[in-house]
Amino acid sequence: MELFYRVSFQEVVADALSLVEERELSSKHALERVFKKVSGRDRDKARGLAHAYVFEIEKWRAKIDFIINSVLRGSSVDDLDPYLANLLRIGTFEIHFRKVPPAVATDSIIRVVKERFDFSRAKFVNALMHEIEKFDVEKALKRLREGDRIEWLSVRFSHPRWYVEYAVELLGYDEAVRLLLSNNRPQRYYVRANTLKTDVDSLRDYLEENGVRTALTPVPDVLKILEYKTPVTRLDWYKEGKFVIQDLASAYVAHVLAPEPGERVLDLAAAPGSKTFHAAALMENRGEIVAVDYSYDRLMRMKEKMKLLGIKNVKLVHADGQSFKDKEKFDKIILDAPCSSSGTYRQFPEVKWRFDENKIKRIISVQRNMLRNAYENLRDGGEMTYSTCSIRIDEDEENVLFAVERVGLELVDYPFGWGDRGFLEIGDRVFRAWTHRHDCNGFFIAKLRKG
């Protein structure tokens, strides 16, 4: 494979993994940054393979780290230089998951270590790689299962321990295992027709003509992708903005909100923009949507996408959704709150390793500040949706109870047409989707009103 980067393929992957970890970028954006510096005949082929490596290493990181920690005996992969740790993860992944011949996998890692570090570190890594090669994963997992069933689930299915404990408590052991399994399956893709440019029937015909088999879904403008010959992102209609890729549950939010042409709508955490754009289409580009986000870069990406989709009624505002105020009140508000993303592990495996209980407490505080601020921005009689891509009750039902009991919002009895109901005393009045039950992201929606 011919690449021009002054580096090997393993360094490309290690650079991307480091960006994912240090800058909290998605795998996709990390690889975009790394590949800006890569040229050569095999660039596209290498990018596809690098994406597969980064995605799978993030997905199986707990299991990979379990192997490395077992051979380190007493210390941990987290004690190592972060770049060296990522090189070891790549080597372990190649030997135990991709079944690359151990000598080849070890040699490619040692070369990078010699170049980036020193001879003594290369000697240390060489010895570790030989231990990793000989390590009997199944035998070690069997021992772990006998000693600590939760830790065994955490390693076997590569999820954070807190998540496994939470899922078992919430759903029971058997169903929690089904959820863990489902999170590790290939992502299911959905496409939403951009009704400013086409309709769902025309989109379905077009996709069928281009070798993409689809199915209808409970969301009227969304199709489920069953099979494809060419990735849908390479099709002309995608490049022309006639459809977007959007998760099924995420696309339900705008329908639950039901914004009307001519209304004033506020999106308090708008980027990357899927729900904003969907609301604009349902409003037929009439009225106004104020789209607020704290990330200027993400707003600029929204601006580009708006041109492509033909959206003309959205005003982008760089501000904090916890404190943004407008002179006039709004008829409708979308609050798709920043959250632990614990419902999106199938789509973004890297987020599994970003949260612990302390960080989740901090994010719940942000969610509650945004709920208070939404109330201040909503006109009397105005409606809003509160949604997250989290499975956690403290980010979902408990926050709705906070909004009702402490903020002054009312919970609307919305007739959800699909999905499951939730938990606590308001469980039958809120929406939940689950990866293992509904083949989409784990998701929560509640509709609220200012009385």
Residues 366, 318 within the same domain: yes
Q: Is the pLDDT of residue 44 over 70?
A: yes
Residue 46, in any domain of the structure? yes
Q: What pLDDT, on a 0 to 100 scale, did the predictor assign at position 3?
A: 52
Token look-up 């998605």 returns: 26
Residues 234, 303 within the same domain: no
Residues 22, 165 within the same domain: no
Residue 254, in any domain of the structure? yes
Residue 2, in any domain of the structure? no
φ and ψ of 135, to 5 deg = -65, 130
What whole-number distance in Å separates Cα of residue 254 and Cα of residue 311? 15
Over residues 174-196, the mean pLDDT reads: 97
Q: Which residues are annotated as a binding site?
A: 269-275, 293, 320, 336
Instruction: Express each pLDDT in 220-232 by its tens digit.
Output: 999 999 999 999 9
Is-catalytic flag, 389?
yes
Residue 230, in any domain of the structure? yes
Instruction: Express each pLDDT in 283-326 by its tens digit.
Output: 999 999 999 999 999 999 999 999 999 999 999 999 999 999 99
What whole-number distance in Å separates Cα of residue 385 and Cα of residue 411? 10
CATH number of the domain at 197, please. 3.30.70.1170
CATH number of the domain at 96, please. 1.10.940.10
Q: What pLDDT, on a 0 to 100 scale, did the predictor assign at position 2?
A: 52
Token look-up 């025309």 returns: 202
Residues 433, 297 within the same domain: yes
What whole-number distance in Å separates Cα of residue 98 and Cα of residue 444? 36
For 346-381, letters b (16+ CB in 10 Å) and e give bbbbbbbbebeeeebeebbebbbebbbbbbebbeee
**Helix axes of 43-59 and 9-22: crossing angle, nearest 10 degrees:** 50
What whole-number distance in Å separates Cα of residue 37 and Cα of residue 7? 10
Q: How many domains does the chain have?
A: 4
Residues 409, 311 within the same domain: yes
Q: What pLDDT, on a 0 to 100 scale, did the predictor assign at position 5?
A: 46
Residue 323 near residue 347, CB atoms below 8 Å: no
What whole-number distance in Å separates Cα of residue 117 and Cα of residue 110? 10
φ and ψ of 335, to 5 deg = -120, 90
Q: Is the pLDDT of residue 142 over 60?
A: yes
Residue 289, in any domain of the structure? yes
Q: What pLDDT, on a 0 to 100 scale, did the predictor assign at position 391?
A: 98
Q: What pLDDT, on a 0 to 100 scale, did the predictor assign at position 39?
A: 83
Residues 239, 256 within the same domain: no
For residue 150, the enclosing domain spans 144-183
Q: What pLDDT, on a 0 to 100 scale, did the predictor assign at position 1?
A: 57
Q: What pLDDT, on a 0 to 100 scale, did the predictor assign at position 145?
A: 97
What whole-number distance in Å separates Cα of residue 107 and Cα of residue 91? 9
User: How many CA within 13 A on the CB side of residue 383?
Assistant: 16
What whole-number distance in Å separates Cα of residue 398 and Cα of residue 84? 42
Q: Which residues are annotated as a binding site for S-adenosyl-L-methionine?
A: 269-275, 293, 320, 336
The letter for the amino acid at 202 is: S
In this structure, the number of other CB atoms found within 10 A of the CB of residue 312 comes to 11
Catalytic residue among 20, 283, 389, 433: 389
Residues 34, 179 within the same domain: no
Residues 293, 394 within the same domain: yes
The letter for the amino acid at 150 is: I
Report pTM: 0.96
Residues 294, 442 within the same domain: yes
Q: Is the pLDDT of residue 15 over 70?
A: yes
Residue 284, in any domain of the structure? yes
Residue 322 near residue 374, CB atoms below 8 Å: no
Residues 304, 425 within the same domain: yes
Going from the C-alpha of 245 to that of each of 44, 237, 335, 340, 387, the distances in angstroms are: 22, 12, 20, 22, 19
Residues 36, 152 within the same domain: no
Nearest alpha carbon to residue 351 among 178, 183, 186: 183
Phi-psi region of 317 (alpha: psi -120 to 50; beta: other; left: phi over 0): beta
Over residues 79-101, the mean pLDDT reads: 97
Last residue of a domain, one of 218, 245, 272: 245
Instruction: Express each pLDDT in 238-284 by its tens digit.
Output: 999 999 999 999 999 999 999 999 999 999 999 999 999 999 999 99
Mean pLDDT taken over the chain: 96
In this structure, the number of other CB atoms found within 10 A of the CB of residue 341 comes to 21
Residue 121 near residue 53, CB atoms below 8 Å: no
Residue 314 near residue 276, CB atoms below 8 Å: yes
pLDDT band at 42 (very low <50, low <70, confident <90, very high): confident
Residues 348, 417 within the same domain: yes
What whole-number distance in Å separates Cα of residue 145 and Cα of residue 393? 28
Residue 395 near residue 423, CB atoms below 8 Å: no
Residue 4, in any domain of the structure? no
Considering just the CA atoms, what is the radius of gyration of the chain in Å?
23
User: How many CA within 13 A on the CB side of residue 436?
Assistant: 14
Helix (H) or strand (E) holding 383: strand 378-388
Q: What percentage of the chain has pLDDT greater than the value 70?
A: 98
Residue 263, in any domain of the structure? yes
In this structure, the number of other CB atoms found within 10 A of the CB of residue 252 comes to 27
Going from the C-alpha of 48 to that of each of 45, 73, 223, 357, the distances in angstroms are: 5, 35, 25, 34
CATH number of the domain at 252, please. 3.40.50.150
